Amino acid sequence: MLEPADRFAICELLALYGHLIDERRWADLGQVFCLDAIYDFTDFGERVTTSLEELIALWTREGARHPLAHHASNIVVTEGSDGTAEVVSKGLAVGTNGRVSSIRYQDTVIRTRAGWRIATRTAVLRR
């Protein structure tokens, strides 16, 4: 059973993601993702990555597009199986051109010795 402290830690995990991405602190993303994390953002014209290393390489390649600001909201945490948690949240992203996008994130998070980490993430652009 997820304790209130777990739910709080998971919400902070999603908030930390936004701060690290916005500050381009790629080396610190291990505080958010598992090393073998799967990230599906094919809805944004990108491919599915299957490791943190692959994800960072994709995000830091020349020509990579990244919004200036990420904001997480409407976070709903549901207890999953085998000690996991399923999380759905909404995100707002502010682009370099001032355009604002709405995103729905679907995450599976797991408890590790270092704390909660995102194991899988799917980002869906709200149209």
Distance CA(71)–CA(98), nearest Å, equals 15
Rounded mean pLDDT, 96-123: 95
Alpha-carbon span 69 to 41, nearest angstrom: 17
Answer whether 84's CB lies under 8 Å from 119's CB.
yes
DSSP 47: -
Q: What is the pLDDT of residues 34-48, one digit of tens each?
A: 999 999 999 988 999
pTM of the model as a whole:
0.94
**Cα 64 from chain centroid (whole Å):** 17
CA distance 71 to 62: 24
Q: Is the pLDDT of residue 127 over 80?
A: no
Give all domains of the chain, ordered by start, each with its CATH number: 4-125 (3.10.450.50)
pLDDT at 66 (0 to 100): 82
